[in-house]
Amino acid sequence: MSLRSYLLGSVAIGSALAMAAPAMAQSNGAVNAQIQALQDQLRAVNQQLQNLQGQVIQTQQSQAQATATVNQLKAAPALSSNGVVVTMPNNRPTFSTADGANTLAITGRLNFDIGAYDYHPGSTFSAPQALHSGVNARRARLGVTGKFLNDWGYNLIFDLGGSTDSGANTVLENAYITYNGIAPFHFDLGYQDVPFTLDEATSSNDIMFMERSSAQVIAANLAAGDNRSAFGARWNNDRAWVGIYGTGPAANTTHGIPEQFGATARATYQVLQDANYSFHIGGNVEGLIKPPTTANVRSVTSFSDRPELRVDPTSIINTGAIGTATNPVKDASVFGAELAGGLGSAFAQAEYFHYNVTRQGLSALNFNGGYVQGSYTITGESRKYNPSTGAYGTIVPNNPFSWKSGTWGAWEAAARFSVVDLNDLFTPGTTTASTNGVAGGKQTVYTVGLNWYPNTNMRFMLNVLHGDINKKQGAVVAGSPLGSNIGASFNAVALRSQFNF
Torsion, Cα 48 49 50 54, to 10 degrees, reads: 100
Coil, helix or strand for 143?
strand
| Contact residues for 118 (Cβ-Cβ < 8 A; gap 6+) | 490, 491, 492
From residue 147, give the alpha-carbon distance in Å to each of 229, 288, 381.
20, 32, 32
pLDDT computed for residue 16 by the predictor = 45
pLDDT computed for residue 479 by the predictor = 45
| Contact residues for 359 (Cβ-Cβ < 8 A; gap 6+) | 322, 323, 327, 328, 329, 330, 365, 436
pLDDT computed for residue 397 by the predictor = 98
* CB 173 within 8 Å of CB 257: no
Q: Spell out the domain ranges in the chain.
A: 3-76, 79-500
* CB 214 within 8 Å of CB 308: yes
pLDDT computed for residue 37 by the predictor = 74
Superfamily of domain covering 79-500:
Porin (2.40.160.10)
* Separation between Cα atoms, residue 353 and residue 196, nearest integer Å: 12
Picking from 151, 108, 115, 158, the residue whose alpha carbon sits closest to that of residue 135 is 115
**Whole-number average pLDDT of the chain:** 85
Q: Is the pTM of this model over 0.85?
A: no
| Contact residues for 406 (Cβ-Cβ < 8 A; gap 6+) | none
pLDDT computed for residue 472 by the predictor = 67
Phi/psi at 235 (5° precision): -145, 145
* Separation between Cα atoms, residue 86 and residue 78, nearest integer Å: 6
Picking from 340, 339, 334, the residue whose alpha carbon sits closest to that of residue 353 is 334
> H or E stretch including 208?
none
* CB 465 within 8 Å of CB 307: yes
Length of the chain, please?
501
Question: What sign does the dihedral 174-179-184-188 (CA atoms) show?
Answer: negative
* CB 444 within 8 Å of CB 419: yes
In which residue ranges of the chain is pLDDT below 50?
Answer: 1, 3-4, 6-25, 73, 76, 78-81, 474-481
Distance of CA 170 to the CA centre of its chain: 22
Picking from 351, 407, 355, the residue whose alpha carbon sits closest to that of residue 380 is 407
Picking from 67, 65, 63, the residue whose alpha carbon sits closest to that of residue 55 is 63
* Separation between Cα atoms, residue 74 and residue 64, nearest integer Å: 15
Distance of CA 162 to the CA centre of its chain: 20
The number of beta carbons lying within 10 Å of the beta carbon of residue 445 is: 24
